[in-house]
Amino acid sequence: MNRINQKLKENKKLLSIYFTAGFPKINDTVSIIENLEKSGVDFIEIGLPFSDPLADGPTIQASSTKALDNGMTSEVLFNQLKDIRKTVTIPLIIMGYFNPMMQFGIENFCKKCAEIGIDGLIIPDLPVDVYNDNYKAVFEKYGLINVFLITPQTSLERIQFIDKISDGFIYMVSSASVTGSQNAFGKTQDDYFKRIADLNLKSPQIVGFGISNAETFKQATKYAKGAIIGSAFVKYLAENGTANINKFVSGIRD
């Protein structure tokens, strides 16, 4: 069984952390992953930087620009990760935009992921229908889970369709926004979280966008299976470097 599905069976609220590969320094990737696992994170999203990250706010944009300036590429990332499964056992997901993957070659990209032991991909600008028609077979061939997003504006019909074709979990975007722009959740989000929970979908939901601390993590996981922190962690790395990652993580779970 894919490590993601195994993890989803655990009887607890899951914490996932996103970071941009190649930031703050080009060779920080492996140590960030190892430290996150040691700190008790449940799974990790490794951001493959892109020059034009449409769905991201200023924090992740800036970290992507820096990572590219540092020399990060798909090739470099795969090289850094080649022995990662010797030290790390939690699920690893690569999150990135479609164009760099296309240039690497989709099949090649999937093959590399499988060799390394990557469990899934999140590709915000690869639409569900295009994936379903053109790439599903190759993802499945290499045992990769492709994670889809839903938002507060996603129609019921579409949510049900996404649930049907999803393996693993559904990435539930907390509000109509790019990453890193929310500070607190209000009643609107709570209603939305509950509305989705009441649908009793087959795929567990993990909430992302706008989770930055213990309070928002708690709110986000009141109904959902887990939550993802991205911008807040990237900001922490920008300010503190890679030392004391465990301090950040323990601050979330308190």
Residues assigned a catalytic role: 45, 56
Report residue 114 as tokens: 């499988």
Identified binder of other proteins from the candidate list 121, 145, 178, 220, rule CB under 8 A? 178
Exposed/middle/buried for 1, CB within 10 Å: 0-12, 13-18, 19+?
A: exposed
Report residue 28 as tokens: 């920080």
Residue with token string 């999803």: 166
Q: Rule CB under 8 A: say whether 50 interacts with other proteins.
A: yes
CB closer to other proteins, 35 vs 182: 182
Single out the segment in contact with other proteins by CB under 8 A; choices: 127-135, 196-204, 230-238, 239-247. Answer: 127-135
CB closer to other proteins, 68 vs 238: 68
Residue 133 DSSP symbol: I
Length of the chain: 254
- Which residues make Cβ contacts (< 8 Å) with residue 164, sequence separation at least 6? 202
Q: Rule CB under 8 A: say whether 153 interacts with other proteins.
A: yes
Q: Rule CB under 8 A: say whether 55 interacts with other proteins.
A: yes
Identified binder of other proteins from the candidate list 11, 89, 155, 200, rule CB under 8 A? 155
Exposed/middle/buried for 87, CB within 10 Å: 0-12, 13-18, 19+?
A: exposed
The β-bridge partners of 47 are 20, 95
CB of residue 253 to other proteins, shortest distance in Å: 28
Single out the segment in contact with other proteins by CB under 8 A; choices: 11-19, 58-66, 111-119, 198-206. Answer: 58-66
Q: Within a 13 Å sphere around the CA of 213, how many CA atoms are in the beta-carbon half?
A: 5
**CA 20 to CA 18: how far, in whole Å?**
7
Single out the segment in contact with other proteins by CB under 8 A; choices: 24-32, 39-47, 48-56, 198-206. Answer: 48-56
Q: Rule CB under 8 A: say whether 106 interacts with other proteins.
A: no
Binding site for other proteins (CB under 8 A): 50-55, 57-58, 61-62, 65, 68, 73-75, 97-104, 124-128, 130, 148-151, 153-155, 158, 173, 176-178, 181
